[in-house]
């Protein structure tokens, strides 16, 4: 690999003088967010002025140190990846709007880690990253088996480290990592760390909804509790391969329940405790759990949510559909709701606190194959039915642990807080498994981040001396609107690395996070990944190279991203297109539960030979990746994925609704908002009352987080002559870009468009 030779490697961590011009200006150039999801218009060109002592930004003026760095050093990924034959696949709906538009001026802003940070980092220079990356691509078996060997295997994998076919033209898609290896992820997360002498280290801190409510468990105590629950589950007949649904809020019992399932080889399916009874029932019907584990209630801010009532309804609905779940283990969330106030069905409902503590604190491990299922997690796709993403044990274990370690530059003294709920993939990989596999101290927070006031997060950071803080852009934007005082009244000096996930982080939010929250000294790991990928695929390695606000930077070890055009041709150098990956990695999902065909069709057929992410991406001249959002009919609301088809099907189930079409629109806090066009059945008046009941229909069928922000009455929808709804036009109307409607002559009834515009504010 000539391009990797040392002569071409850039010098690490240049502290450029190019920032001096901006030093005198204010630290915060973007105090208010003008949010364009980073994919439409760009904010005005800017340079953040940062203290020279720690970080510097550098403009890539020709001839500058930064420019030399760029021209010789960074755009190497393109050269490094050998070409594959391109696929012939097409994807159905090209949302070209999000592709190819300038992401900015930001592309010339480089923010360097401080020399001290890099010196102490696990990967401290571009050279070191490149060396490791090169090895991971040229010899994946060697690279990953060396890492895997650091875990406990009852029996080593054999004969191959991995085998894969991701090319549908060559046969069924099949991916295996460490097959034949016998292990247990709970053993590796708990027992192994205790045996290494960390039994007394805090594994979990818990902070309740109300300030002052808290708790903690050491690794040894956590293992005891996991074993008690595991023994109880075995006692009631749960065994290897059985599904268990978990519908718990962010109590320590949530990771405990996940680990207890893993310990006995049961397959957990955590459902975010914000999903409605109908969504929960749908998941019961699909995976037929032996047991459901839930809590009676949760407090979120000032609100109390009766979770048990939701579970009761879901169980009834599921039983009506022929799937009866006979056992419901209920954790009494005492500070929120007493058992006496909870509706109880004797025989089926069992109180956790009454039974679980009676079981022994030792529970033998069920040793499983690396390719045995670990969990199912339902996620939205572009059709109405959620997909059960299936992850297996060994590869997921190795991958989540390794990505956590490098992307956050983990040190044993760290206190780590991820604000995601375990009901989403982020909570699986980066609240529970990744950090605990590293023996980290993890904070679990039950409450709402702006309760009792918008300073709560920083209060918690100071209380626990949090060093690694991982959150979503939506929270960053929401807190940014509240003003800096809520942040600056707390010290935050413990913080070392910040993280972002769930959606593209717009450069102004990035800068506020960096300058105000991180006091211009903490690198931000903007981690791009998905439920399907198990762990980070494109992410900064914070000590290794300069960052650009809003870019997820470069691939993680072992990952070969490519950007393809609509026909599946790989694009080289600076380009925009569809983001695909051309190899498997240990953490990739292995199937969709009960529907391997949909797995192949959705992810591997659009561009044969590749895994298709569903995201658009731009690669800039320096090889940095800029994610530009979904290119399919999935919208991303506050970092939560929702299929437009799911919302449409909830709307049309309302007796007054004849038809609906849902699109995403830019939203200043949530990233995207939900905008629904609705046609009512003949004879029903378009009233506010109907509007409210339509919104309620979505809340009850999916959950409050999927409620449309706007219902736009649509006596007619713009359709082609073949009856296809032209969403492109709806997106323009929704975002009020009326001068960009484009050609509407192909519509069956072009007059519909004017009618819709007239109805905008009705």
Residues near ligand 6R9, by CB under 6 A: 379, 424-426, 500-504, 526-531, 552, 613-615, 627, 630, 636, 639, 641
C-alpha span between 318 and 192 (Å, rounded): 39
Catalytic site includes residue 414 = no
Closer residue to ligand 6R9, CB minimum distance, 249 or 386: 386
Tokens 């450029």 -> residue? 16
Instruction: Give the nearest distance from C-beta 530 to ligand 6R9 in angstroms.
Output: 4
Closer residue to ligand 6R9, CB minimum distance, 630 or 719: 630
Instruction: Give the nearest distance from C-beta 110 to ligand 6R9 in angstroms.
Output: 19
Rounded to 5 degrees, φ, ψ at 44 are -60, 150
| Strand-pair category, 634-637 with 640-643 | antiparallel
Closer residue to ligand 6R9, CB minimum distance, 194 or 537: 537
C-alpha span between 699 and 213 (Å, rounded): 30
Token representation of residue 319: 């039983």
C-alpha span between 521 and 497 (Å, rounded): 9
C-alpha span between 686 and 684 (Å, rounded): 7
Rounded to 5 degrees, φ, ψ at 349 are -90, 130
Closer residue to ligand 6R9, CB minimum distance, 370 or 627: 627
Instruction: Give the nearest distance from C-beta 441 to ligand 6R9 in angstroms.
Output: 22
C-alpha span between 713 and 757 (Å, rounded): 10
Token representation of residue 364: 């033998």
- Cβ contacts of 119 within 8 Å, gap of 6 or more: none
Closer residue to ligand 6R9, CB minimum distance, 641 or 667: 641
Query: 286, 349, 409, 632: which is the annotated catalytic residue?
Result: 632
**Sign of the CA dihedral running 574, 579, 580, 586:** positive
Token representation of residue 605: 């057929």
Closest by Cα among 479, 421, 338 to 31: 479
Closer residue to ligand 6R9, CB minimum distance, 457 or 537: 537
Instruction: Give the nearest distance from C-beta 727 to ligand 6R9 in angstroms.
Output: 18
Closer residue to ligand 6R9, CB minimum distance, 530 or 583: 530
Task: Give per-residue burial for 707-725: e unless 16+ CB within 10 Å, then b.
Answer: bbeebbbbebbbbeeeeeb
Token representation of residue 358: 């009676």
Helix H or strand E segment including 249: none
Closest by Cα among 321, 205, 184, 309 to 247: 309
Helix H or strand E segment including 7: none
How many alpha carbons lie under 13 Å from residue 600 in its C-beta half-sphere? 16
Strand spans (E) along 572-715 = 575-581, 591-592, 611-619, 625-630, 634-637, 640-643, 657-667, 671-680, 710-713
Instruction: Give the nearest distance from C-beta 655 to ligand 6R9 in angstroms.
Output: 32
Token representation of residue 532: 């399907």
Instruction: Give the nearest distance from C-beta 592 to ligand 6R9 in angstroms.
Output: 13
Please name every residue paired with 214 in a beta bridge, in sequence order, or none if there are none.
207
Instruction: Give the nearest distance from C-beta 705 to ligand 6R9 in angstroms.
Output: 12
| Strand-pair category, 657-667 with 214-218 | unpaired
Instruction: Give the nearest distance from C-beta 40 to ligand 6R9 in angstroms.
Output: 15
CB count, 10 Å around CB of 674?
A: 25
Closer residue to ligand 6R9, CB minimum distance, 229 or 669: 669
**Sign of the CA dihedral running 462, 469, 122, 442:** positive
Closer residue to ligand 6R9, CB minimum distance, 60 or 407: 407
Instruction: Give the nearest distance from C-beta 280 to ligand 6R9 in angstroms.
Output: 18
Instruction: Give the nearest distance from C-beta 95 to ligand 6R9 in angstroms.
Output: 12
Full 3-state SS string of 257-308: HHHHHHHHCCEEEECCCCECHHHHHHHHHHHCCCEEEEECCEEECCEEECHH
Instruction: Give the nearest distance from C-beta 258 to ligand 6R9 in angstroms.
Output: 17
| Strand-pair category, 387-392 with 373-379 | antiparallel
Contact status, residue 111 vs residue 521, Cβ threshold 8 Å: no
CB count, 10 Å around CB of 736?
A: 11
C-alpha span between 400 and 402 (Å, rounded): 6
Closer residue to ligand 6R9, CB minimum distance, 263 or 590: 590
Closer residue to ligand 6R9, CB minimum distance, 12 or 502: 502
Tokens 């019961």 -> residue? 284
Q: Is the peptide bond before 755 cis (omega within 30 degrees of 0)?
A: no
Full 3-state SS string of 24-63: CCCCCCCCCCCCCCCCCCCCCCCCCCCCCCCCCEECCCCC
Separation of CA 587 from chain center: 14
Instruction: Give the nearest distance from C-beta 74 to ligand 6R9 in angstroms.
Output: 19
C-alpha span between 307 and 297 (Å, rounded): 5
**Going edge to edge, which strands form the sheet with 575-581?**
570-571, 561-564, 575-581, 611-619, 625-630
Closer residue to ligand 6R9, CB minimum distance, 467 or 474: 474
Instruction: Give the nearest distance from C-beta 531 to ligand 6R9 in angstroms.
Output: 3
Closer residue to ligand 6R9, CB minimum distance, 265 or 586: 586
Task: Give per-residue burial for 292-315: e unless 16+ CB within 10 Å, then b.
Answer: bbbbbbbbbeeeebbbbebbbbbb
What residues are labeled active site?
A: 632
């Amino acid at each position: 690999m000539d391009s990797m030779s040392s002569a071409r490697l850039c010098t690490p961590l240049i502290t450029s003088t190019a920032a001096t011009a901006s030093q005198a200006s204010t630290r915060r150039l973007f105090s208010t967010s003008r949010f364009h999801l980073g994919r439409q218009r760009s904010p005005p060109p800017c340079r953040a002025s940062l203290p020279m002592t720690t970080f510097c930004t550098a403009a890539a003026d020709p001839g500058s140190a930064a420019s030399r760095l760029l021209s010789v050093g960074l755009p190497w990924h393109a050269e490094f990846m050998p070409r594959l034959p391109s696929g012939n696949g097409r994807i159905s709906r090209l949302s070209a709007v999000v592709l190819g538009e300038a992401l900015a001026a930001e592309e010339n802003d480089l923010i360097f880690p401080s020399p001290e940070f890099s010196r102490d980092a696990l990967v401290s220079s571009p050279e070191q990253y490149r060396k490791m990356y090169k090895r991971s691509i040229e010899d994946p078996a060697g690279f990953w088996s060396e890492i895997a060997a650091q875990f406990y295997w009852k029996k080593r994998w054999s004969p191959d480290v991995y085998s894969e076919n991701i090319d549908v033209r060559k046969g069924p898609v099949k991916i295996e990592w460490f097959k034949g290896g016998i292990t247990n992820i709970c053993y590796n997360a708990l027992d192994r760390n205790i045996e290494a002498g960390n039994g007394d280290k805090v594994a979990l801190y818990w902070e309740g909804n109300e300030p002052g409510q808290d708790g903690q468990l050491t690794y040894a105590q956590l293992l005891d509790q996991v074993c008690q629950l595991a023994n109880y589950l075995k006692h009631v007949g749960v065994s290897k391969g059985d599904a268990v649904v978990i519908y718990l809020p962010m109590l320590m019992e949530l990771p405990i329940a996940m680990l207890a399932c893993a310990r006995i080889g049961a397959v957990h399916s955590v459902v975010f405790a914000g999903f409605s009874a109908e969504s929960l029932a749908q998941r019961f019907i699909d995976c037929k759990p032996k047991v459901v584990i839930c809590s009676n209630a949760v407090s979120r801010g000032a609100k109390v949510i009766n979770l048990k009532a939701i579970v009761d309804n879901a169980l009834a609905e599921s039983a009506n559909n022929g799937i009866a779940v006979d056992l419901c283990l209920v954790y009494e969330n005492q500070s929120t709701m007493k058992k006496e106030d909870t509706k109880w069905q004797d025989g089926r409902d069992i109180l956790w606190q009454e039974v679980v503590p009676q079981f022994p604190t030792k529970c033998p491990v069920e040793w499983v194959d690396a390719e045995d299922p670990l969990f199912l997690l339902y996620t939205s796709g572009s059709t109405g039915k959620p997909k059960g993403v299936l992850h297996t044990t060994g590869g997921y274990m190795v991958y989540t642990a390794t990505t956590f370690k490098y992307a956050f530059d983990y040190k044993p003294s760290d206190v780590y807080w991820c604000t995601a709920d375990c009901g989403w993939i982020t909570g699986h990989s980066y609240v529970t498994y990744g950090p605990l596999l590293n023996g980290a101290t993890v904070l679990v927070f039950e409450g709402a981040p702006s309760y009792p006031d918008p300073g709560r997060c920083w209060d918690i950071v100071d209380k626990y001396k949090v060093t690694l803080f991982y959150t979503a852009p939506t929270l960053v934007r929401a807190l940014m609107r509240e003003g800096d005082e809520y942040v600056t009244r707390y010290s935050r000096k413990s913080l070392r690395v910040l993280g972002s996930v769930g959606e593209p982080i717009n450069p102004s939010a990035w800068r506020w996070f960096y300058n105000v929250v991180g006091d211009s000294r903490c690198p931000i790991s903007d981690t791009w990944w998905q439920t399907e990928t198990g762990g980070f695929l494109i992410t900064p390695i914070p000590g290794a190279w300069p960052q650009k606000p809003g870019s997820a930077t470069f691939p993680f070890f072992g990952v070969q991203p490519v950007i393809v055009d609509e026909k599946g041709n790989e694009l080289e150098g600076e380009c925009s297109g569809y983001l695909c990956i051309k190899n498997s990695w240990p953490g990739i999902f292995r199937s969709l539960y009960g529907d391997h065909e949909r797995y192949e069709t959705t992810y591997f057929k659009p561009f044969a030979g590749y895994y298709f992410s569903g995201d658009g991406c731009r690669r800039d001249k320096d090889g940095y990746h800029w994610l530009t959002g979904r290119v399919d009919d999935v919208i991303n609301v506050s970092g939560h994925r929702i299929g437009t088809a799911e919302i449409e099907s909830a709307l049309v189930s309302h007796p007054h609704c004849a038809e609906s079409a849902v699109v995403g629109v830019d939203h200043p806090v949530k990233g995207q908002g939900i905008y629904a066009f609705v046609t009512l059945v003949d004879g029903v008046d378009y009233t506010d009352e109907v509007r409210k009941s339509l919104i309620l229909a979505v809340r009850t069928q999916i959950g409050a987080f999927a409620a449309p922000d706007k219902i736009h009455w649509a006596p007619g929808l713009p359709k082609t002559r073949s009856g296809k709804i032209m969403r492109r036009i709806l997106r323009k109307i929704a975002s009020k870009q009326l001068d960009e409607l484009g050609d509407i002559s192909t519509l069956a009834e072009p007059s519909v468009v004017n009618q819709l515009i007239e109805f905008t504010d009705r």
